[in-house]
Amino acid sequence: MSNILIIKHGSLGDLIQANGAIKDIKNNFPDDKVFLLTTPPYTEFMSTCPYLDGVLIDKRLPRWNLIYLMNLKKMLERFSFTKVFDLQNSSRSMFYKKFLSKKNIFWSNKFSFTNKNEVNEEEGLPVLERILKQLNRAGLKDLLFTKKPDLSWAFKNIQNLINQNFEGKYILIFPFCSPKLIKKKWPYYNDLIELLKRDYGNKYNIALVPGPNEINDAKKFNTNIILNNSQPVNILELISLIKGSSFVIANDTGPAHISSHLNVKGLVLFGSHTSPEKVSIESENFKSIKVDNLKNLNVSEVYEKIRENLN
């Protein structure tokens, strides 16, 4: 038995997508212990993942912080990892390969066993297809879940949470995004909410589920805000809320990726930052609208698409 490390720092949507690959890695090495290196916001969530034997924290402090890097190196060396699967494939995780690894460690990343031309070709592929190719190059077999992440392990009973907020069926809206990625944000959710309340308010509760830094912004919308005892819901509660919803409308963020892999009915809105195909976000029930500029996507077009799929 040996120890295996998977690197996936985040974001939430990226971790959701990597869940299938994590399961496939564990299934390929059932007698080994598999650990995840991730960031503090996702430690508690991923600690409940049944395909992992442990979760290690990387605060991702600046690389010039040599004391932190040396402590991180010492922590990882205690586990004597024989294999590393870098699913982050960032400049930071590439740096870790040089700084943290020893020559006898098997290290899989997007550059493993391939040439520069092949890397460039893969960059244009959907993200789950790129992960699949990386694991294939690493020699893994029977990759049944990499392109079909299974989140059933993350469901929990949220009836008490529902009772705190409303009764009956509900539509969830996620109008937020990272402050660093404001171009992902569609600006007309308030108008959309008013249309939904007018036509569907008797049948569905219309609700927002804000994250830890979004509660004040959520109060600017004239609709329900789902909280747990006045606090933001955790990721397991979020996943379960999305699973039980009748419809989801979102920007290209973590909740949209959760919705896609749960195959709930819904709609995600894309501007020019990327495409639905490249981030592997559409499913049978979860669809997208793609435009060059989200400011030019009018409410009537979004509303008509919702009506087509909700009815």
One-letter identity of residue 222: N
User: Cβ distance 38 to 46 under 8 Å?
Assistant: yes
Alpha helix stretches (DSSP H) within 202-286: 215-218, 235-243, 254-262
Distance from C-alpha of 242 to C-alpha of 222, rounded to nearest angstrom: 20
Q: Which pLDDT score, from 0 to 100, does residue 120 have?
A: 65
CA distances (Å), 78 to each of 56, 74, 231, in order?
12, 6, 37
Alpha helix stretches (DSSP H) within 138-288: 159-165, 189-200, 215-218, 235-243, 254-262
251: β partners: 269
Cβ neighbours around 74 below 10 Å, total: 10
The CATH-assigned architecture of domain 154-310 is 3-Layer(aba) Sandwich (3.40)
| CATH topology match: 3-150 vs 154-310 | yes
Taking only the tens of pLDDT, the chain with its 311 residues reads 899 999 999 899 999 999 999 999 999 999 999 999 999 999 999 999 999 999 999 999 998 999 999 999 999 999 999 999 999 999 999 999 988 777 788 999 988 766 666 666 677 789 999 999 999 999 999 999 999 999 999 999 999 888 888 888 999 999 998 777 778 899 999 999 999 999 998 999 999 999 988 999 999 998 999 999 889 999 999 999 999 999 999 999 999 999 999 999 999 999 988 888 999 999 999 999 999 999 999 999 999 999 998 87
Q: Which pLDDT score, from 0 to 100, does residue 113 have?
A: 61
> Where in the chain are the domains?
3-150, 154-310
| Multiple choice CATH, 3-150, 3.40.50.150, 3.30.428.10, 3.40.50.2000, 1.10.3720.10 | 3.40.50.2000
Q: Which pLDDT score, from 0 to 100, does residue 179 have?
A: 75
